[in-house]
Amino acid sequence: MWAPDATTVSVVVDGSSSPMTRDGQWWRYPSAATDPGRYGFTIDADSGDGAPAVLPDPRSPRQPDGVHSTSAPFVVDETLWTDRGWAGRPIAGAVVYELHIGTFTPDGTFDSAIERLDHLVDLGVGFVEVMPINGFNGTHNWGYDGVAWYAVHEIYGGPAGFARFVDACHGRGLGVVLDVVYNHLGPSGNYLPQFGPYLTSGANTWGQSLNLDQADSDPVRAHILDNALRWLREFHVDALRLDAVHALVDHTAIHLLEELAVRTDALSAELGRPLSLIAESDLNDPRLITDRGLGGYGLAAQWDDDVHHAIHTAVSGERQGYYGDFGSYDCLATVLTKGFFHAATYSSFRRRRHGRPIDPAVVPSTSLVVYTCNHDQIGNRATGDRPSAYLTPGQLAIKAALVLTSAFTPMLFMGEEWAASTPFQFFTSHPEPELGEATATGRISEFADHGWDAAEIPDPQDPETFARSKLDWSELEQPDHLRILEFYRSLIELRASTPEITDRHLDRVEVDFDEQAGWFAIHRGAVTAVCVLTDQAITVPITLTPLLTFDPVTVDHGAIESSGHNVIIGRRPGGA
């Protein structure tokens, strides 16, 4: 146990306390002959009055009774695995499907999610990305308030349930991406500061910053590195999505991300299967995804919000907040051919220059993960409404086509593929009344600044907010939803079978558009996707042999006639 400033440390095993022996900054005790049922630690117990608090293990593998209780041992049962033949797969170019375990199914467990994996296989998905599952206080939230980083939320099925889920995914040919959070800890159940200087006096949007570069930071970094590698090794996870890496404050010569990438690549070589790191970053900095030999960190991929913003604003017409710089067809052309819109250019939302250009000769396009929506872009809207709540089916098809025919790595958000009508709202279940009230008040205040009536903002603490956010799988029996689903399936199948669409070179992507007429075309070799963004009937002067359309079209005299809000994908005569 690392507790550098402690005077005494004891281990409490099944209620029996035994003192540990100091070894520098560490404390040691001989391992028990058999695994205990429950265990924890007391620190400087003689300095206070009354019975000392028994703290959970900072690296607890299981918290059966919640994050405030004692820990329990857990080791993955090696006989569980049936995926010994799983060779893994690289993330580049695969279709990723993001889901939240608690709302993906009515039961909200790993085992119930397993029952829906065949749907994802039929859809053509390559990876399942699971939102954070580490231990947090309460019954349900998005997962970003975790405090027991090494444990798995018990209500989902605990660590054994997660292992079964990963094994089931691999059995169906699906890779698994796990969303992990290393930039802050949640507000309830964080006992790390009682053990050592895990945190600094600095803070980010969500809480105190982790101690990555100050005195005694090496064990803190090890706490993160060992956690990340544990998911990849012990739970057979294929990739990690690293939450908000721009909030990691690290001024050391070897940034934590670079160190993690080096360790991940070494583990990949040892295990003989691809392992990937995907960053969520607000910086538009290609160094994250540039090879280390060229001065980068060497991560496999990063999320690209610019592509989302450009597509969303061009199709929906929304321009508020950070959408202000986006919306033109020229902007859409920029992101589809260059990756970033803000690349050392002025951002009116930030009121400064932002980003850095991508060199397509150095960074493959599939290093950027793009999407029509994700948990943030839905859940951080005032009412958590999906695009299906305010766009036409044709507009939804346009957004899907622009993402799935792009040169990037596409990601879907659960239910998107059938235009789910259920929202994905911001929900919490803080047991502490003061935390719950602060969360609800903060949410109302945030959107009041944008003109929203407080009565329209769902209360995150209301159990109905969580219940409303669960997918309604019965919608798959309805013709309108099936129509969207079939288009997604066909589009993903076309992507998989068409080499031009999976080409990784941004400098080979070409676009045409006429903003006044209302159409936009993306060319991938001989394959072209034409999007009619107006609701009016128009003629697009492009010659195509259609391969896939959302609504019927007429091809006459080398032009396409569409009744509006439509997608036409086809081959151009004469090749590229």
* Residues assigned a catalytic role: 243, 280
Strands 301-303 and 368-371: parallel
- Alpha helices per DSSP H over 431-498: 433-448, 463-468, 479-497
- The contacts of residue 258 (CB under 8 Å, 6+ apart) are 292, 297, 298
Rg of the chain on CA atoms, in Å: 25
Q: Give residues with Cβ within 8 angstroms of 519, minimum separation 6.
A: 513, 530, 531, 532, 533, 534, 538, 540
**What's the 3-state SS for 291-318?**
CHHHCCCCCCEEECHHHHHHHHHHHHCC
Nearest Cα neighbor of 323 from 281, 381, 366, 375 is: 381
What gap in Å lies between CA 542 and CA 538, rounded to an integer? 12
The values of phi and psi at residue 434, to 5°, are -65, -35
Question: Could you tell me which residues are beta bridge partners of residue 34?
Answer: none
Say how far apart CA 171 and CA 82 lie, in whole Å. 7
Residues shown for the chain: 576
Task: Name, in order, each residue with C-beta under 8 angstroms of 225's C-beta and a sequence gap of 6 or more.
Answer: 256, 259, 260, 263
**Three-class SS state of 119:** helix
How many CB atoms within 10 Å of residue 182? 24
Antiparallel, parallel or unpaired: β 301-303 and 276-279: parallel
Q: Round to whole Å and give the CA distance between 286 and 447.
A: 32
Alpha-helical runs (H) found in 78-157: 101-104, 110-114, 117-123
Task: Give the burial class of 441: count Cβ atoms within 10 A of its Cβ; 0-12 exposed, 13-18 middle, 19 or more buried.
Answer: exposed
